[in-house]
Structure 1
Amino acid sequence: MARSPFTLVAAVTAALPGAEVTGARALSAGGDGRFDSAIATLSDGRELVIRVAEDDEAAVELAEEALALRALTAGAREMLPFAAPVYIGETRVGDARALVTDLLDGFQIDAPDVPAGRGAAWSMGEATAAVHALPASVVRGAGLTVRDAAGVREELWQVVDRSAATGRVPARLTVRWRQAIEDDDLWRFETTVTLGGVEANSFLFADDPEAGPQVTGVIGWKGLAVGDPAVDLAWFSSAPDAADDVHAAYVRAADRGTDDALRVRARLHAELEFARWLLHGESLRRDDIIDDAAALLESLADGIRQELTLPAAGGTDVESAMDALDRMPAAEAPAVDTSMETDAYRPEQLWVEAEETDTADEADAEPSDADTEAQDADGEAVATDPDATGPTWGDATEDLSDISGVRGSSGSPARPAPETAAAEADTPIDASEEAQRAARAALQRWTNSGSE
């Protein structure tokens, strides 16, 4: 039975001796009902949150969050461009564990409602990168979990094997997951500090009239660890509109290079949330949870459209192509062989440095439009703004938001076929101009094959 807010806030004085509580109100974020929560108003105007665990598993989560918040020293908090809850104390309400923290202001945005473009999406990506930039000593010093890439891989193997043993996971998913875990190319990454599975509702926003919603706080620190940064990007699958912009902002803000397989592993982590939900039901012997998880897994198996593999084009992103455009020479390029032996292009290899021409007339010639502005196959200009965001993974982001309860998918838009540039057979052009046109056409094919 849910406890009243007055019952909950009465325990605040046990966690904060001397506190004078003057008000109480309920706190609910539409969670799973595993915690009773309330807000206590103190005589000095401060507002505190008290959460009480409803079962043993929830009690463990509260203990983990208390340890994580205490690990965030003043120095670590100064490195973050947003606020994190401050640990106030712990107590008990009856036989249940309770945690008291300060209250962070801000509004939340559900994942399917996060808009693309500047504002919330960019701020979420930058906030996630800030967490990942924290020194690993923050985690190690608190005795929290530290895993290397091999450890992350082994933990996922156990999830797949245990869930498959229940007999409720479609064989197609089991094979898919095992193939992904066996693929060595997916597991060459640098571990970072992570929140251990951030969600869209972990971010608190304040509205900026010029920049749009900006992250002012992050909640949900119970999973603080060192591990795979992709685990904090798994929620992208339920935010198809904003996923590319969040990821692009994350890549820009990251203080280290991001690996090509980041979003592939993020997708794998998202799908394995279904398996974890199944295992949660098994551990509690809850047939309703087991049946719900099994139905979600069946829906996921029917809806998957993309493979959990690295993009065939080499794993680089559209921003790399834009950088290559910025490196195009101002003078005309010499004639080159523009034939392509394969579909795997490296953008930086599509242009060559211009050689000096032999005549003064060519040296004084004005640069052509083709040298200063990239165009697509239909003659439309392609923006080369270094701040422009774009998709950064070879396949479209599948929307898992249609499956209620857990991140999931019922399908994704079909991947468009690459475009080709139509040649004007009747118009004579010199070899250098042809080289530039071929390079732009190759970029266009690469961009469209890797960004939709």
Structure 2
Amino acid sequence: MTRSPLVLAALATAAVPGLDVWDAHPAGSGSDDDAAVVVDARRGRWLVRAPRTAAAGAALEAEVALLAALEDHVEGGRLPFAVARPAGFAALPEGGRAMVHRQLPGAPLRLETLTAGPGLAASLGRALAALHELPTAVVEQQGLPVYDAAGYRERRLAEVDEAARTGHVPPTLLRRWERLLEDVSLWRFRPVVVHGDLTEEHVLVQDGAVCGVVGWTETKVADPADDLSWLLVAAPPDAVDSILEAYLLRRTELGDPHLQDRALLAGELALARWLLHGVRTGDDAVVQDAVAMLRDLDASCRESEPVAEPVAG
């Protein structure tokens, strides 16, 4: 079922007594829920989300519980950014419920605007470090996934094996992944609370600093490298240095020399997961997109590999 913004606006008025809706328009949503931005008569902005499936409804309930736990850490000063605070719920005819909350202030992060120095890049590093310093009980108590280092490495290996069976991963790239995943020395890390789905649209900024983080549906206890991978891959290199410097200064865990190696690998393995998503859903366009990116990555890795000098006879 796909709900229109008008239907979602009606759910918002049922969830928040006294809400006077003036306008509503679609908001970015995942494949498993419908979302709309609702504007009230005072120009206040609200976000309403309604799950489409029972599984999405269960995920939303877990997120609601997580947001309440995170809010405690926001109010206690342990997290330097805001998270959504549910303002009300509305029952859905097919079961489950929709959630409504005020839209957080700020604009989505634009990676190309990041520069070196103590500004936004450093704020981003400190925000990630603060998240990774949270007690893992924040996630464990909500029944969300929890992995130890060995188990997480096995999970990544299983993904690579499944991607290999599609026949779409270039052999040299596959060997590279297998070599890195089989090197257990790279995978000695302390699992932490990770957001799990950090993108530009999920990080909100205002006045040159991170002011909010949204999109907590993939939160788990896992490898901190996962939350850094998108930055190492896509942010300007000089800004990456400032992000990492601020991040490492804020972290109390200093014994992870392969953090950046795993972060770069995680960025590469995201292409394997995109391929698998296309295969599982039967979406040929996604499969072809993933195949093209895997070939580009393979070519890039080949170019960066050192060329062996010929041995003199």
Letter in 2 for 1:88: A
Partner of 1:102: 102
Partner of 1:238: 234
- The correspondence of residues 230-379 of structure 1 with structure 2, limited to 5 A, is 230-236=225-231, 237-241=233-237, 242-304=239-301
TM-score normalised by length of structure 2:
0.85
- How many angstroms does 1:59 deviate by? 5.5
Letter in 2 for 1:160: V
Q: 2:224 aligns with which of 229, 233, 252?
A: 229
Letter in 2 for 1:24: D
Q: Report SS of the residue matched to 1:283.
A: helix
Gaps of 5+ in 2: 307-313
- How many angstroms does 1:270 deviate by? 0.8
TM-score normalised by length of structure 1:
0.60
The verdict on how the C-alpha distance between 1:20 and 1:246 changes in structure 2, with shifts beyond 3 A counting, is same
Q: Deviations over 1:427-447 (max 9, x none)?
A: xxxxxxxxxxxxxxxxxxxxx
Letter in 2 for 1:80: L
Looking at structure 2, the residues matched to 99 and 248 of structure 1 have their Cα atoms a distance apart, in angstroms, of: 38
The verdict on how the C-alpha distance between 1:61 and 1:140 changes in structure 2, with shifts beyond 3 A counting, is closer
Partner of 1:22: 21
**Conserved? CA contact 1:21–1:43, under 8 Å:** yes
- Identical-pair percentage: 37
Letter in 2 for 1:263: Q
The verdict on how the C-alpha distance between 1:84 and 1:279 changes in structure 2, with shifts beyond 3 A counting, is same
Letter in 1 for 2:188: R
More helix by share: 2
Looking at structure 2, the residues matched to 54 and 115 of structure 1 have their Cα atoms a distance apart, in angstroms, of: 40
Looking at structure 2, the residues matched to 163 and 183 of structure 1 have their Cα atoms a distance apart, in angstroms, of: 19
Measured on the aligned residues, the alpha-carbon RMSD in Å equals: 2.8
Looking at structure 2, the residues matched to 61 and 112 of structure 1 have their Cα atoms a distance apart, in angstroms, of: 32
Looking at structure 1, the residues matched to 288 and 61 of structure 2 have their Cα atoms a distance apart, in angstroms, of: 30
Kindly tell me the number of residue pairs found equivalent between the two proteins.
301
Looking at structure 2, the residues matched to 167 and 64 of structure 1 have their Cα atoms a distance apart, in angstroms, of: 36
Looking at structure 1, the residues matched to 51 and 9 of structure 2 have their Cα atoms a distance apart, in angstroms, of: 14
Gaps of 5+ in 1: 208-212, 308-413, 415-452
- How many angstroms does 1:39 deviate by? 2.1
Partner of 1:70: 68
Q: Deviations over 1:290-322 (max 9, x none)?
A: 122112111111122557xxxxxxxxxxxxxxx
**Conserved? CA contact 1:160–1:275, under 8 Å:** yes
Partner of 1:87: 86
Letter in 2 for 1:230: A
Letter in 2 for 1:26: H
Partner of 2:134: 134
Partner of 1:216: 211
More strand by share: 2
The verdict on how the C-alpha distance between 1:91 and 1:155 changes in structure 2, with shifts beyond 3 A counting, is farther
Letter in 2 for 1:110: R
Decide which moves more: 46-55 or 116-125.
Answer: 46-55
